[in-house]
């Protein structure tokens, strides 16, 4: 299995620009999670989906952030407009709801100048 | 949400030494996961362990759910064990959905 795939791996952009992060979960997994990791706040959940439906988006910082899952094999996290405080590593994870837990992608390191 | 505390925050070992990492959580949980974040940032799923003990090579984990803690044992540590170890638990009464992470234990193994 290829594991969770994220792209891009690194993104450098300027304040005010739109940023789109992409994730392909492990085939057969029906849960998809977006996390953000910073030194100050650690790992925090932004949003998660079950069967392509958003279940809990209480961690989404503000309206500048949006996430979609148009089908079982693809999800996007969009930031518009981006700000320097959005700089972080963004992880996507997936699980199938069984006794194995969540599996993480390699992350996207976002730097907003 | 559930509070997750890990100790120690930092640990420095000589290669070959053994270590125990601890994870305490504030409420009843139905499962617990241990992750290793390697120096390249990759989060690797080590154990899914709601209760009891599991072993995988030099690593083993024990969760005592009734007492709200879990332990991760690393034996004969190697330099490749370096990185940050996280434990994470779901919401009370849930096995799925959001995970609450501790702040991690930063492990450094010297040759």
Q: In 3D, which of B90, B67, B95, B96 has the Cα closest to residue B1?
A: B90
Residues ≥6 apart with Cβ < 8 Å to A10: A108, A109, A111
> What's the confidence (pLDDT) of residue A38?
95
**Average pLDDT of span A41-57:** 93
Q: Which of A30-39, A54-63, B56-65, B77-86 has the lowest mean pLDDT?
A: A54-63
Contacts of B44 in chain A (CB under 8 A): 104
pLDDT at B95 over 70: no
Would the CB atoms of A101 and B41 count as touching at under 8 Å? no
How far is Cα of residue A54 from the mean position of the Cα atoms in its chain? Answer: 13
pLDDT at A100 over 90: no
Is B106 an 8 Å CB contact of chain A? no
Residues ≥6 apart with Cβ < 8 Å to B55: none
Is A97 an 8 Å CB contact of chain B? yes
Q: In 3D, which of B96, B18, B25 has the Cα closest to residue B60?
A: B18
**Cβ distance A26 to A46 under 8 Å?**
no
Give chain B as a 3 state SS string: CCCEEEECCEEEEECCCCEEEEEEECCCCCCCEEEEECCCCCEEEEEECCCEEEEECCEEEEEEHHHCEEEEEECCCCHHHCEEEEEEEECCCCCCCCEEECCCEEEEEEC
**Average pLDDT of span B42-61:** 95
Would the CB atoms of A42 and B104 count as touching at under 8 Å? yes
- Optimal mutation site among B33, B43, B47, B70, interface A, most CBs of chain A within 10 A: B43
Pairing of strands A19-24, A74-79: antiparallel
Question: Token pair of B23, please?
Answer: 């994870």
> What's the confidence (pLDDT) of residue B70?
97
Q: How far apart are CA B70 and CA B63, in angstroms?
A: 4
Would the CB atoms of A97 and B48 count as touching at under 8 Å? no
pLDDT single digits (tens) A1-28: 689 999 999 999 999 999 999 999 999 9
**Average pLDDT of span B2-25:** 96
Is B85 an 8 Å CB contact of chain A? no
| pLDDT-above-70 percentage for chain A | 97
Contacts of B104 in chain A (CB under 8 A): 42
Indicate the burial class of A41 (C-beta count within 10 angstroms; 0-12, 13-18, 19 or more).
Answer: exposed
pLDDT at A79 over 70: yes
Largest CA distance in chain A: 42
Q: How confident is the model at residue A60 (pLDDT cuts 50, 70, 90)?
A: very high
């Amino acid at each position: 299995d290829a594991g969770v795939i994220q792209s891009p791996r690194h993104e450098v952009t300027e304040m005010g620009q739109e940023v789109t992060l992409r994730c392909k979960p492990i085939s057969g997994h029906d849960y998809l999670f977006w996390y953000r990791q910073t030194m100050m706040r650690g790992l925090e959940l932004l949003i998660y989906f079950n069967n392509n439906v958003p279940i809990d988006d209480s961690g989404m910082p503000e309206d500048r952030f949006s996430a979609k899952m148009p089908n079982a094999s693809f999800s996007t996290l969009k930031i518009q407009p981006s700000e320097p405080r959005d700089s972080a590593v963004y992880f996507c994870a997936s699980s199938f709801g069984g006794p194995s837990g969540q599996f993480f992608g390699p992350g996207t390191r976002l730097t907003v100048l | 949400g559930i509070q997750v505390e890990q100790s120690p925050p930092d640990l420095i070992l000589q290669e070959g030494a053994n270590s125990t990492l601890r994870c305490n959580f504030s409420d009843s949980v139905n499962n617990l996961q241990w992750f290793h974040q390697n120096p390249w940032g990759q989060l690797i799923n080590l154990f899914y362990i709601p209760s009891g003990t599991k072993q995988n090579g030099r690593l083993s984990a024990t969760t005592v759910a009734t007492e709200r803690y879990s332990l991760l044992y690393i034996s004969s540590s190697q330099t490749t064990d370096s990185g940050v170890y996280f434990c994470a638990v779901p919401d009370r009464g849930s096995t799925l959905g959001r995970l609450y992470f501790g702040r991690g234990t930063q492990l450094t193994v010297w040759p």
